[in-house]
Amino acid sequence: MKFLSSAALAFALMLNPLLGGAMAQDQKPDVNDAVTLQQLLEQVRQGRVRDNSAFATREAEFRKNRNQQKAFLTRTQNAIKREEARSERLEKTFADNEVKLAELEGLLNERLGIYGELFGIVRQVAGETRGQIEESFISGEIKGRAAPLAKLAKTKGLPEMEQLEYLWFALQQEMTAQGEVKRFTGEVVNLDGSVRETEILRVGPFTALADGQFVRYAGDNRFADLGRQPPARFGDAADDVLDGSGGELVAAPIDPSRGAILNLLLQMPSLSERINQGGLVGYTIILLGLLGVGLALERIIRLTLTARSVKAQMEAGKAEGDTPLGRVWAVYHAAAGQKKLDVETLELKLDDAILKEMPALEKNLSLLKLLAGVSPLLGLLGTVTGMILTFQAITLFGTGDPKLMAGGISQALMTTVLGLTVAIPILLLHAAAAARSREIVQILEEQAAGLIARHAEGT
């Protein structure tokens, strides 16, 4: 009996997962759990009956739908066969059409013959003419010429006669306008973006002037002001063109590159920009140069006036007034009045008087000489610093872009130029001032020697 109880308990434990699955599926477990083996056996029997009933229901439903699925499969297979047959017919039709198209293309090329190449050249010429017209100064006066040419250049078929005539007319119109100097009213874009209407003078396809200044063609039938104007010599020639009458022959500035050379001229630095390239060293050289020129002019003017007054005194035979010669003669007269004055003592007194005049006559001459010598050295200093900047740029960025090295090279060259430009005139002015000073000193020495000789004869 104990063995049967143990076996029944083991069987119940084996069925426990099945019972748990059934309860999970039905989501309605029995409220009265089995307590005895008999109750457990009864519950297993009832679950088996329910499962058999569900399996029978599913099998009947599957058999019922089997005939419908078979009919649907048959219809699908028939549709696939029809589409495969249609695909074969279409492929055959496509192959036949390709053969027919190749035959027609060959027939078309054969009938066109040389006209195919001719129309290709027409489209090419139309495209090139359109590009030239879009960038031409003439389009600022004659508008709406590029659109028909663009349509002709993009056409795939044979061009119409009107299109061919328009191409010829556009070429002839451009050539005729290139030989004209004409005034017309057009639109000019200001530097702030606004647009104004003004009178424009066009010199062929090369140059355009508005309000006395050069303008560039900006496209879209408009001109535009330049950020800066070219050098003054070109502006003067432009004024002559603006002021000239229709029958007068004047020299006109033209740009055969249609704007490229003008842009290069605008990129050239002005005098102030070149001076700025010299940096601090350049400004120092200019300051020293102005100082040297001022001192030199002051010395030359003062010495010139002094020399003039001394020569006037020599011609008059009297030495009066506050001049070097007057002061030397005053020393002579004061010494000559003394008794028993020998020649040597008088000579010493006159030499002393001349030596006293020397500092005033040679004032700032040594400073001018110093400035003339320092300026090239400062230029050399700027050259060295500029080359240092250049090599730093090469170290950081390499030699791929020369513009990165332009700043240092410009400083090196400009400081050298400034140094020589300042040193040369200061050196010349120093020579002129020194010559004036030596001239006065020579006059004083000559007059002193004459006075000594007169005193020696009198004694």
pLDDT digits (tens, 9 = 90+) for 258-297: 777 777 777 777 777 778 878 888 889 999 999 999 999 9
**DSSP class per residue in 400-419:** S-THHHHHHHHHHHHHHHHH
pLDDT in tens, 39-52: 777 777 777 777 77
What's the CA gap between 132 and 134, in Å, rounded?
Answer: 6
Strand-pairing partners, residue 184, are 200
pLDDT over 60 (residue 1): no
pLDDT in tens, 319-345: 666 778 778 887 777 776 665 677 787
Amino acid at 435: A
CB 202 within 8 A of CB 137: yes
Helix (H, G, I), strand (E, B) or coil at 209: strand
Q: Which tokens go with 248?
A: 């007068």
Q: Which tokens go with 32?
A: 């009265």
pLDDT in tens, 53-102: 777 787 777 777 777 777 788 888 888 988 998 899 899 999 999 999 98
pLDDT in tens, 130-155: 888 888 888 888 888 888 888 888 88
What's the CA gap between 338 and 459, in Å, rounded?
Answer: 12
Q: Which tokens go with 59?
A: 């099998």
Please identify which residue in the block is written with the tokens 């066009």.
202
Q: What's the CA angle centered on 37, arms 32 and 43, to 5 degrees?
A: 50
288: Cβ–Cβ under 8 A, 6 or more apart, which residues? 371, 374, 375, 378, 422
> How sure is the predictor about 456, in pLDDT bands with cuts at 50, 70 and 90?
confident
Max CA pair span of the chain: 185
> How sure is the predictor about 459, in pLDDT bands with cuts at 50, 70 and 90?
low
Determine the straight-line distance between the first and last CA of the chain, rounded to whole angstroms.
Answer: 185
Helix or strand holding residue 311 (H, E): helix 279-316
| Bigger pLDDT: 220 vs 90 | 90
Mean pLDDT of the chain: 79
CB 129 within 8 A of CB 145: no
Give the model's pLDDT for residue 429: 92
pLDDT over 70 (residue 32): no
What is the phi/psi pair of residue 213, to 5°? -130, 155
Give the model's pLDDT for residue 3: 38
pLDDT in tens, 114-131: 666 777 788 888 888 888
Sign of the C-alpha dihedral computed for residues 435, 437, 440 and 441 taken in this order: negative
Q: What's the CA angle centered on 30, arms 25 and 33, to 5 degrees?
A: 125
Please state whether 198 falls in left (phi above 0), alpha (psi between -120 and 50) or beta.
Answer: beta
Give the model's pLDDT for residue 426: 92
> How far is CA 294 from each of CA 297, 306, 394, 428, rounded to the nearest angstrom?
5, 18, 41, 13
pLDDT over 80 (residue 298): yes
Mean pLDDT is lowest, of 57-61, 194-198, 208-212, for 57-61
pLDDT over 70 (residue 245): no
Give the model's pLDDT for residue 9: 45
pLDDT in tens, 145-187: 888 888 888 887 778 888 888 888 988 988 888 888 888 888 8
Mean pLDDT is lowest, of 185-199, 222-236, 282-296, 371-385, for 222-236
- State the DSSP code for 278: T
Strand-pairing partners, residue 182, are 202
pLDDT over 90 (residue 211): no
Give the model's pLDDT for residue 425: 92
Share of the chain above pLDDT 90, in %: 9
Question: Alpha helix locations (H) across 155-211?
Answer: 161-178
325: Cβ–Cβ under 8 A, 6 or more apart, which residues? 310, 313, 314, 319, 443, 444, 447
pLDDT over 50 (residue 31): no
- State the DSSP code for 142: S
